[in-house]
């Protein structure tokens, strides 16, 4: 249950707090990075809340470290959420989640589009939640990458939930200088009946889940070291989704953000 980032298209935005409400770290070769060169990125983020697909798991500060290894379009990532204060399960001062992901950027170019596939394994130490896994497939339109980058990602749970969540995202990047970049975007998530029933209420129809409005800024302070900041407003669809949030999570809308530091070896 982590954030999604694209390295290569805009390397200075390689931050764990970037692109809210996505789930996997992808090193995208479509942006021009050298796929044959190995990349190792170590990051840590301090975030004012833990929000995943509109679900507020912790209303207080959390730390989210991660490590990404990539080469030849393949990315391996380990990500964790450390609750500095008590979360919805009563956990504090410990890791509530540790995830592993494998992603691959397909070596094809169709009308300036980029395609990624992969697997995410979610683990929840210090809680009664069961581990689960999702397969995902993503497509990004790069024809207008200097202005906007639309994308759609489909996540399918194959272990516990057996539901599907679809994320639609449009981000507008702007390279201010060789070292400083900003972006602003909006995203929306849609769940099928099985997904919404599992995450929101005991019985829920398919429909929209969450809407997110976000901005990111990043600066490469020295070679290989990038600091970034993110601010996001997350709101929920009404009906079963909003009612479910009031019963299961810590908020039904949230303004949250964080700072991140990343080191590329």
pLDDT of residue 228: 97
pLDDT of residue 24: 55
- Going from the C-alpha of 122 to that of each of 2, 227, 235, the distances in angstroms are 10, 27, 24
Residue 208, by phi and psi: left (phi above 0), alpha (psi -120 to 50) or beta?
beta
Tell me if 260 sits within 8 A of 43, measured CB to CB. yes
Q: Which residues pair with 255 in a beta bridge?
A: 233
Each residue of 245-258: b (16+ CB within 10 Å) or e? beeebbbbebebbb
Tens-level pLDDT at each residue, the chain (265 residues): 654 443 333 333 333 333 334 555 554 444 444 567 899 999 999 999 999 999 999 999 999 999 999 999 999 999 999 999 999 988 899 999 999 999 999 998 888 999 999 999 999 998 888 999 999 999 999 999 999 999 999 999 999 999 999 999 999 999 999 999 999 999 999 999 999 999 998 878 999 999 999 999 999 999 999 999 999 999 999 898 999 998 899 999 999 999 999 999 8
Cα(142)–Cα(144) distance, integer angstroms: 5
Cα(189)–Cα(160) distance, integer angstroms: 20
Rounded-to-10 torsion of CA 19, 3, 208, 244: -130
DSSP tag of 204: -
N-term to C-term CA, the chain: 25
- Give Cβ neighbours of residue 9 (< 8 Å, ≥ 6 apart): 28, 30, 31, 32, 142, 145, 149, 173
pLDDT of residue 4: 43
| Other residues' Cβ atoms within 10 Å of the Cβ of residue 112 | 12
Tell me if 263 sits within 8 A of 225, measured CB to CB. yes
Q: Which of 84, 43, 17, 59 is nearest to 231 (CA)?
A: 17
Q: Which of 223, 245, 227, 261 is nearest to 54 (CA)?
A: 245
Per-domain boundaries in the chain: 5-264
SS3 199: helix
CATH number, domain 5-264: 2.40.160.40
Cα(29)–Cα(18) distance, integer angstroms: 18
Tell me if 52 sits within 8 A of 131, measured CB to CB. no
Range list of β-strands (E), the chain: 5-7, 25-27, 39-47, 50-52, 55-58, 62-71, 74-83, 94-105, 113-123, 132-141, 149-157, 164-175, 180-191, 207-222, 225-236, 253-264
- Give Cβ neighbours of residue 162 (< 8 Å, ≥ 6 apart): 194
């Amino acid at each position: 249950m982590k954030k999604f980032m694209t390295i290569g298209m805009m390397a200075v935005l390689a931050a764990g707090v970037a692109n809210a409400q996505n789930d996997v770290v992808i090193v995208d070769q479509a942006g021009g990075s050298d796929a044959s060169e190995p990349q190792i990125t170590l990051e840590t983020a301090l975030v004012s809340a833990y929000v995943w697909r509109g679900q507020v798991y912790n209303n207080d500060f959390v730390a989210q470290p991660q490590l990404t290894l990539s080469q030849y379009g393949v990315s391996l990532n380990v990500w964790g959420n450390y609750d500095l204060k008590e979360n919805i399960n009563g956990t504090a001062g410990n890791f509530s989640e540790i995830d592993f992901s494998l992603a691959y950027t397909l070596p094809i170019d169709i009308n300036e589009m980029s395609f990624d596939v992969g697997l995410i394994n979610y683990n929840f130490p210090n809680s009664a939640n069961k581990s689960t896994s999702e397969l995902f497939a993503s497509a990004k339109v790069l024809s207008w990458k200097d202005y906007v980058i639309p994308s759609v990602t489909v996540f399918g749970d194959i272990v516990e939930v057996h539901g599907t969540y679809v994320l639609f995202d449009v981000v507008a990047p702007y390279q201010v200088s060789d070292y400083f970049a900003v972006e602003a975007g909006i995203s929306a998530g849609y769940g099928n009946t099985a997904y919404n029933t599992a995450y929101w209420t005991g019985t829920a129809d398919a429909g929209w889940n969450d809407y997110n409005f976000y901005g990111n800024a990043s600066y490469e302070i020295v070679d290989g070291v990038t600091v970034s900041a993110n601010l996001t407003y997350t709101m929920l669809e009404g009906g079963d989704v909003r009612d479910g949030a009031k019963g299961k999570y810590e908020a039904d809308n949230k303004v949250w953000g964080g700072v991140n530091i990343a080191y590329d070896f």
